[in-house]
Amino acid sequence: MKLQSQRGPMAEINVTPLVDVMLVLLIIFMVTAPFLQGGLEVDLPKVATRGLDVREGLIVSVRRGGAIAVGERVVPSGQFEDALRRARASERPVYLKADQSVPYGDIVALIARLRRAGVVSLGLVTQPAQERR
């Protein structure tokens, strides 16, 4: 007499591996979603104990009233990109200093113009809270 196996094909689907894979995918999407948000790409200067050394970079200043200076020279708005090319802004870091009374929209528009002119490294210069007067 031969013993026949009582086992037949299983008609059930094991969903445990499917649930495990779905949970792993959920965690991956939850972790990566905050990094997918768009925005302005600004290379902010790193905090250092000795302060920021801006001597090798180009300083672009926006003064009260909207006057723009590239380095020490005030330039008209129409000649801003030409002044950046003459100062070789695309080859070195650029630091943006803006008066706090200048509207935010004007600063964003200026950052867009800097990016179109080829500026790769852009830092925003601020003043620490305890030094404000």
Tell me if residue 55 falls in helix, strand or coil: coil
Q: Give the residue-averaged pLDDT of 83-98.
A: 85
Q: How many CA atoms lie within 13 A of 18 on its CB side?
A: 3
pLDDT of res. 83: 87
How confident is residue 129, by pLDDT bands cut at 50, 70 and 90? low
The edge-to-edge listing of strands for the beta sheet with 122-124 is: 73-75, 68-70, 58-62, 94-98, 122-124
Query: To the nearest whole percent, how much of the chain has pLDDT over 70?
Result: 75
CATH topology for 58-127 is Nucleotidyltransferase; domain 5 (3.30.420)
Q: Give the residue-averaged pLDDT of 96-123.
A: 87
Instruction: Tell me which amino acid residue 124 is.
Output: L
Q: Where are the domains of the chain?
A: 58-127
How confident is residue 22, by pLDDT bands cut at 50, 70 and 90? very high
How many Å from the N-terminal Cα to the C-terminal Cα in the chain?
102
Taking only the tens place, the pLDDT of each residue in 25-77 is: 999 988 888 776 554 343 343 444 445 555 678 888 888 888 888 888 888 88
